[in-house]
Amino acid sequence: MSDSIKIDIWSDIACPWCYIGKRKLEHGLEEYSAGVDALPVEIEYHSFELSPDTPVDFDGSTTDYLAARKGMPVEQVTQMLERVTGIAASVGLDYDFDEVKHTNTVKAHQLIHYAKAHGVQLAAKERLLKAYFVDGRHVGRVEDLADLAAEIGLDREDVLRSLNSDEFLEDVHADQRQAQAYGIQGVPFFVIDGRYGISGAQEAAAFVQVLEQVAGERTEVGA
């Protein structure tokens, strides 16, 4: 058994709660790691598409999209987005839904797998989420994704080759099949040590509690 605790995370780039959940997890990890008996933690992100039928170039705003998809009045969608923006701000994220470029995320998920193969998956996930929710960048087009990849030190031309050839598309699909096997229907979803599931953007304390429980169980087994 590895000494580290593995956290597998299913999420989507276009999921506002996934970025919020990422920050809350990071806050939890900071608190947990300060403990005397804390074990190292390994994180791996997995693909989940909330809206695989979304076109790459969606004509309209996030408000337009949600109003049409959920059948909600525009005013209600606006209030919902304001609430999410406030929650994001509470964990240090400056969401700008007015500038969000709603798009299909399958290529972005392929880029995250490419980044994993090159040892920078966490950096890629963070850059894509920030690009989408904060910077108003397009994360559905191959050229735009290659630009973002270059910002974290990846070879832009090789990224273009990989995305245009769908090199990691099967890895995306494999993640989605695993999500179905786990019964995951919404994201973010965290699987800790392959045994414990945390659904949604829970508070940092929830992650600390599970990590401490896993570490305690490891100690008992080794006793």
CATH number, domain at 160? 3.40.30.10
Structural domain of residue 143, as residue ranges? 5-222
Tokens of 196: 């414990």
Q: 144 phi and psi, to 5 degrees?
A: -65, -40
Per-residue pLDDT of the chain (223 residues; tens, 9 = 90+): 468 999 999 999 999 999 999 999 999 999 999 998 899 999 999 999 999 999 999 988 999 999 998 899 999 999 999 999 999 999 999 999 999 999 999 999 999 999 999 999 999 999 999 999 999 999 999 999 999 999 999 999 999 999 999 999 999 999 999 999 999 999 999 999 999 999 999 999 999 999 999 999 988 765 4
In angstroms, the CA 140 to CA 13 distance is 10
Its pTM stands at 0.95
Among residues 211, 181, 213, 186, the alpha carbon closest in space to that of 201 is found at 186
The two most distant CA atoms of the chain are separated, in Å, by: 60
Q: 8 phi and psi, to 5 degrees?
A: -100, 130
- The bridge status of strand 196-199 relative to strand 189-192 is antiparallel
Q: How many domains does the chain have?
A: 1
- Under a CB-based contact definition with an 8 Å cutoff, are residues 148 and 134 in contact? no
